[in-house]
Amino acid sequence: MTIIVNEKTKEFHLQTSGSSYLFTVLENGQLGHLYYGKKVNHKDSFQHLLTNGNRPNTAYVKEGDMSFSLEQTKQEYPAYGTTDFREPALHIEQVDGSRISDFRYKSHRVTSGKPKLDGLPATYAEDGDEVETLEITLYDDYLDAELTLLYSVFEAHDAIARSARLSNHGKANLNVSRIMSANVDLFDSDYEMIQLSGAWARERHVKNRRLESGLQSISSTRGTSSGHQNPFLALKRPMATEFTGDVYGFSLVYSGNFLAQVEVDYLDVARVSIGIHPFDFNWMLEPGDSFQSPEAVMVYSGEGLNGMSQRFHELYQTRLARGGWRDQARPILTNNWEGTYFDFDEEKILDMARQSKELGVELFVLDDGWFGKRNDDTTSLGDWYVNYDKLPDGITGLADKITDLGMDFGLWFEPEMVSKASRLYEEHPDWILHVPDRSLSHGRNQYVLDFSRGEVVDALYEMMSNILREADISYVKWDMNRYMTEIGSPAWPADRQKEIVHRYILGVYDLYERLTSEFPEVLFESCASGGCRFDPGMLYYAPQAWTSDDTDAVERLKIQYGTSFVYPVSSMGAHVSAVPNHQVGRVTSLETRANTAYFGAFGYELDVTSMAEEEKAEMKAQIEFYKQHRDLFQFGTFYRLESPFEKDGNRTTWMMVSKDQSRAVLADYHVLDRPNQGFTRLQFKGLDPDAAYEIEGYEGLYNGDELMEIGLQLGHERFRERDIHEPAGDFHSRLFILNKKP
């Protein structure tokens, strides 16, 4: 059993393979939090963990009783109103103007498996017995409203998924202005908070700060999860490292506006909350209706940050991503975007495809510019019909010609946007997000379609599905290139305008669900100006995402390193592009570009027809190498060894180990070469300590324990690729391939 209930004390003990999560029913019927951390043995009562007492300047729940205050109590899902001045998980405004609510324990039940969340992405159970779910029902008699808290325990994956559902059984509307997915009150605040922050072309950089008294948070109000902040935060003890110490990870399975927050109170309690951002949000809950929050996933690791990340990787790769491509090796692709931009015709595309095929590429992807009158970024978004001037035989004809080469064919869409210079906008100018009588701003000369409207989603579904039905397409790149402004929808009344962003995201999920259900054989890759909507919600529909528009090998070290805190390597689209790099102008070797891109869904984004013959030969060898080790790169266990965000950032190392520990690859990257450096030592992780390993290209055998505890000192002549006094040059990298000796 992973969920144990002490019926007498009304305590609930959730156990994963390595953690315990404890809460109880308080004396006033609300829920109190007891403990979250390393797994502990169960016993008949944990009531001694409750804290209370008489303190100055404190409000108390009961008249005449100076012993029970919610301000001093660690709570499970706090609501606004009585004796707790911290920010709540739930805030409801009633028709009489009151914001007070009082949800008290009513019942609970434990079931095998995991229920689906209506209209929302979420983790799932593949085998009914692998997950247990606790459903707690709370009731506010005055509101005649029910609050259901869901806890699904993934014992083997060492994770807990949480969400909340509010149901209105009364006769009056309820305005829900805040409904978080999870709340955890920890014992103390002696933690550092880790977040993934950045912007376009430098997404998910690792930021670290010490918790202080007051509020510290990350969020997005851009209509998407954004590249500026990712819907994730971790708390680690100050002495915790990549491989040791206590770490808590909180990740939100959602793609819209979010808030992830830690509040430290005067008692040094850290309250963690994560969910839909309450900024500019309100949901009018009519009688008989329910509102389901997105899902939050919580992970505790006693083995440092790597332990936390590996738990997220395993869960998200196998119990969030879905479909046939979940466990299938991803094809090596060529995408034409940086090779041609809008300037192409059918013969150019076919020439790129032929030469890519000769070098071993398996999938050719046609990017932006194939539809309407699209020759630049000012026109035609929303007109998803072929440009016959460029492609005289249409998408179907081009797809047939490419598949006849023995390759698969993929296609780019940007379904959520429209250009004013388009047939769709001319026919339906009211289909964009806008506020009547207010001016409109644009991004990349495009406007956001109103996906809160079912007829808009239906129209896009018909256009996209018609193309996918008619042509032999095995891959779709789904792009989204701007954030939301002037958020409003004439299709909804005034008192529902704060619902638009969430309804928009539900519309995106609906379109994804319909297309992935009808075309399960198609590999969908999500994209949003690169990595500006790289979140667990998207991963549910598309098992991989374009990690960043920045394809520079050096910049990608930070981007992919940060992304790996939550997301598996198989989810990261990673391409080799031309030099000088189109984003930063840097020139790196083809070897280093590939050595970085191998750690992801690997491909090329360049014009292969313009490459020199020696470069083509190197590209062919890279593809052969990746095919040989593809299952290791995409489905092995990932270890971060040296961070580009620490020390001077000049060196990054990481590695991948096969599940059976028989093979491994370690990558060592140096940004700038330096004179007369000291010796470099590599310490491996995840190997079999009792096995002997060969290192390809080097003599001798090395025991697993030796490689992990002592490591390799690279100044030794057997590991020297050059004379120690000969400069390697800037942006140098090398791979170490390990094979267990039979």
CB 676 within 8 A of CB 733: no
Q: Active-site residue among 140, 408, 549, 550? A: 549
Q: Is 404 a catalytic residue?
A: no
Q: Which residues are paired to 401 by β-bridges?
A: none
**C-alpha span between 186 and 35 (Å, rounded):** 7
Sheet containing strand 11-15, strands side by side: 3-6, 11-15, 19-25, 31-38
Backbone angles phi, psi at 20, to 5 degrees: -125, 145
Backbone angles phi, psi at 401, to 5 degrees: -65, -35
**C-alpha span between 519 and 466 (Å, rounded):** 11
Task: Specify the 3-state DSSP secondary structure of 316.
Answer: helix
Q: Active-site residue among 450, 479, 552, 607? A: 479
**C-alpha span between 301 and 288 (Å, rounded):** 41
Which has the closest alpha carbon to 231: 247, 215, 253? Answer: 253
Amino acid symbol at 715: G
- Beta strands 475-478 and 408-413 are parallel
Amino acid symbol at 703: N
**C-alpha span between 405 and 151 (Å, rounded):** 50
**C-alpha span between 229 and 532 (Å, rounded):** 9
**C-alpha span between 143 and 174 (Å, rounded):** 8
Answer whether the bond into residue 580 is a cis peptide, omega within 30°.
Answer: yes
DSSP state of 506: H
Contacts of residue 466, Cβ cutoff 8 Å, sequence gap at least 6 = none
Taking each helix axis from N to C terminus, what angle separates 394-404 and 454-470, rounded to the nearest 10 degrees? Answer: 40
- Beta strands 572-577 and 544-546 are parallel
**C-alpha span between 327 and 329 (Å, rounded):** 7
**Residue 462, burial from CB neighbour count under 10 angstroms (0-12, 13-18, 19+):** exposed
Token pair for 403? 């598949």
**C-alpha span between 494 and 64 (Å, rounded):** 45
CB 508 within 8 A of CB 454: no
- First-to-last CA distance in the chain? 39
Task: Specify the 3-state DSSP secondary structure of 101.
Answer: coil
Q: Where are the alpha helices (DSSP H) in 498-565?
A: 500-518, 536-539, 553-563
Task: Specify the 3-state DSSP secondary structure of 348.
Answer: helix
Q: Which residues are paired to 218 by β-bridges?
A: 260
Amino acid symbol at 440: L
Q: Three-state secondary structure along 242-279? A: CCCECEEEEEEECCCCEEEEEEECCCCCEEEEEEECCC
Which has the closest alpha carbon to 2: 101, 167, 125? Answer: 125
CB 183 within 8 A of CB 76: yes
- Beta strands 523-526 and 692-695 are unpaired
Dihedral (CA of 109, 115, 117, 121) sign: positive
Q: Is 549 a catalytic residue?
A: yes
Contacts of residue 607, Cβ cutoff 8 Å, sequence gap at least 6 = 336, 339, 340, 352, 578
Token pair for 511? 């379109």
Residue linked to tokens 């001093």: 72
CA-to-CA separations, 676 to 642, 671, 715, in angstroms, rounded: 21, 16, 11
Residue numbers annotated as active site? 479, 549
